[in-house]
Each structure stands twice: as C-alpha cells, then as structure tokens.
Amino acid sequence: MPRSLKEVVFVDGVRTPFGRAGEKGIYTQTRADDLVIACIRELLRRHPELPKERVAEVALAATTQIGDQGLTLGRTAALLSGLPKTTPGYSVDRMCAGAMTAVTNTASSIAFGAYDIAIAGGVEHMGHHPMGEGVDPNPRIVAEAIVDPSALVMGSTAENLHDRFPELTKERADAYAVRSQDKLQAAYAAGRIQPGLVAVATRHQELGWGLASVDEPPRPGTTLQDLAALKTPFRAHGRVTAGNSAGLNDGATACLLASEEAAAELGLPVRMRLVSYSFVGVEPEVMGIGPVPATEKALKTAGLAIDDIGLFELNEAFAVQVLAFLDHFGIADDDPRVNEYGGAIAVGHPLASSGVRLMTQLARQFEEHPEVRYGLTAMCIGIGMGGAVIWENPHHAAYTSEVATPGRGTGDEKVA
C-alpha cells in the first residue's frame, strides 16, 4: 500500500506553575499525577473544537516512575482527565528529556499515520521523589570504567564541563544566571508567561487550601554579588552553585499535537510545525555538551545551518552547559535570540516535564517574531545524552503547506 508521511504541528501547550521541592514548597502535599491531569484538562478546556474521542494517545514522562508518578502514568492520567476509556496511554523515561521524547514519539506516530492527534507531556515531583530515588545502578558501570563515578552526579558533570573548557568561567556562568532571572522577571511583567500557566488548587494539612498561580522558584533582583557568595557543593572551590544551576522543583506540562490535515479539519490552531529532531549519546562525564551534537544532527537532517535558527529555547540545567553550546556555535552569551523569557535557572526544572515548557515558550515567541522562520528547543540529558528539536514558524511569510519542508521553499530561507 502506498504510504506518505504527514506533517506534524504543535497546537498548544500549557504547564503548571513550577514549585520548589521540599516541605515548604507549594506542592508538598499535592500529588504529582494531579499536576499533569490539571494540564490535560486545561488543554481540553481551551480547545472545545477538539472531540475528546479524537485524542488517540497520551504519552507522559517522569524520571522517577514510582508512587504518584507510576502506574503507566499516561493511561491513568488520561482516564482521570476525562478522556474516553478507549484512549490509550503510556509512560516515558529519558530523564530530563522525558517530555521532549514524549513529543517526538507521538509526533513520529502521527507522521507515520498511526493516528492524527495526541497529548504529550511530563511531570516531576522532586519533593516526593528526589532524583535517583530507588535506583540501583549496576556496579559494572563504574567497576568496568564504562563511566567515571562523577557521571552519576549531574552537578559533578557540570564541574567536569568547566574543567574541559576553562574559558567557561564561574564569572560567565554567574552573569548568565543573573540575565536568566532578569529576563524571566521582564517576561512576567509583560504578561508573556501567564497565558501558558494552569492555576492549580493545592491543599495542605496544616495550611489549608491554596492556589498556585505563579512560579515559586524565581529570585528577582539577584545580583552577581549574591551569586559570588554561594557555596560550591559539588567540589571545594568549584564553579557550580545553586545560583547558576536549575533548582529542585515540582511541576507538570502537556501539549497537543496533530497532523496538519487534522488541525485543518477541526479548526485547531497551528503554532509550530515539526521540522526535525535528534537524540545523541555523549560522554556521561560531560553530559552537558549533549545539545551540541544533537543540534548538529538535527540541522543536518533538516538541511539547515545554525544561522537559519532565529530563536533558541535551551534548557538551563546548568549555566555552563548553555555557555558550552553558545561558544560552540559562535553565539554571544547575551544573544537576545536565546531564552528570551529566561530559563530553568530562574523558573525551575522539574526534570521530565521541561521539554514541553521549552516548546510552549518557543511557540509564543514565534507569534511575536514573524520574521523568524525556524526555532530550536534543546537540552542536555543525564547519563550522557542530548536532544534537539527544530520547529518552523507558521507566522513567517514563507510558511505554507506546500513549501513547509526545508529545501522546497522560496529560496529566502534565512531569518531576519
């Protein structure tokens, strides 16, 4: 039977406000699955034009798949979100890139023609499930020198990246972190973050009911002097601190993906079109370098160059990891195309959920920048991997269904 691939579009994305993990965090007595259920319900509420029975898959990521993040989360969350019992679902684990992988998995199924519409996302409640909880790494991994022991401690891998690239100084990392806080504060002031948030009702045994409506981790007004005074927990006299790294956080994300044909049929908005994606492996000891080869591979697949990318959403697990990416591609530390609304250093990084946050923010920036045709979401991944996804802006003058694929355009492929 003849078969042709379908174009895949990003319809919409939402997230909960991100919280600080721990007993004082806003979600300390809120279930992880309830966070992602709130996101799915909000997507369905925002799109009444979408019949619930048309959602053919729910893929949800969690790094620690036990407790309130276990039990085949995609399926149970689908049931609890009000989707029909005929809607299947499954769980994904690629550590920090879990939600990103949920998106690329379901997008690939849509492109293949297995179904037309899916929901993908992720959740991480690091207060309930600290990173590494319940894991039992095979001792051969270290004993046979497959990885250095530092590869199993993400902060240590960031210190290793500083070692490998001495020009990536603590001063540069701290300056980058301050800019991330400042950009997030400016984005909040301009009302750019709030439209993507889902308010979540919380309950605490002692404090009673509450409403999480804004992110908890940001520290507006952070200065270089503040960061210079912080301890370096992963190494004496090191360079990685709590100030130039993402924190330990709780939160969830979800997005709606569709084939281009289904979006047109149902009147669903098209906020981005998937161009290409890539996941790669790198030395686990310097996992932060992962987005570099992942981006190079995604660009090659798309037939694009780094200069074609007009907007970057890079996950800020550690400032040094973003700086390594920028240096490799010859991009300035303060390039305005990079993380326009700030990043994970300011807003938080609930591990498996973060990939969809990057995508949702890129989609909103596409609306504000019709002069930009292509954008990138990329992140480093624990145990030595990197992921990258390239998207096309439907608001760009050259975007049409006939010329959507790079190489079949008008010849005016460069972005402003």
Which tens digit of pLDDT belongs to each residue from 57-89? 999 999 999 999 999 999 999 999 999 999 999
**What is the reported pLDDT for 206?**
87
List the catalytic residue out of 128, 129, 349, 396. Answer: 349
Cα(379)–Cα(324) distance, integer angstroms: 12
DSSP 4-54: -PPPEEEEEEEEPPPEESSTTSTTTTS-HHHHHHHHHHHHHHH-TTS-GGG
**What is the reported pLDDT for 53?**
98
- Sign of the torsion formed by the C-alpha atoms of 134, 139, 145 and 146: negative
Cα(40)–Cα(46) distance, integer angstroms: 10
254-266 CB burial, b ≥16 within 10 A, e <16: bbbbbbbebbeeb
**What is the reported pLDDT for 403?**
36
Specify the residue for token string 């330990």. 248
List the catalytic residue out of 39, 96, 128, 255. Answer: 96
Burial (CB count <10 Å: 0-12, 13-18, 19+), residue 73: buried
Render each residue's pLDDT in the chain as its tens digit; 416 residues.
777 899 999 999 999 999 999 999 999 999 999 999 999 999 999 999 999 999 999 999 999 999 999 999 999 999 999 999 999 999 999 999 999 999 999 999 999 999 999 999 999 999 999 998 999 999 999 899 999 999 999 999 999 999 999 999 999 999 999 999 999 999 999 999 999 999 999 988 888 899 999 999 999 999 999 999 999 999 999 999 999 999 999 999 999 999 999 999 999 999 999 999 999 999 999 999 999 999 999 999 999 999 999 999 999 999 999 999 999 999 999 999 999 999 999 999 999 999 999 999 999 999 999 999 999 999 999 999 999 999 999 999 999 754 344 333 333 333 33
Contact yes or no for 241/235 (Cβ under 8 A) = no
Domain ranges of the chain: 8-128+138-392
Cα(374)–Cα(414) distance, integer angstroms: 9
Name 128's Cβ contacts closer than 8 Å, sequence gap at least 6.
32, 67, 68, 69, 250
Specify the residue for token string 């030395």. 283
**What is the reported pLDDT for 312?**
98
Region 8-128+138-392: CATH code: 3.40.47.10
pTM above 0.75, yes or no: yes
Active-site annotation holds for 255? no
Active-site annotation holds for 162? no
**What is the reported pLDDT for 207?**
82
- Locate 291 and state its tokens: 């987005």
Cα(52)–Cα(44) distance, integer angstroms: 8
Active-site annotation holds for 349? yes
Cα(375)–Cα(14) distance, integer angstroms: 19
Contact yes or no for 285/158 (Cβ under 8 A) = no
List the catalytic residue out of 125, 162, 380, 396. Answer: 380
For the chain, give the number of residues.
416
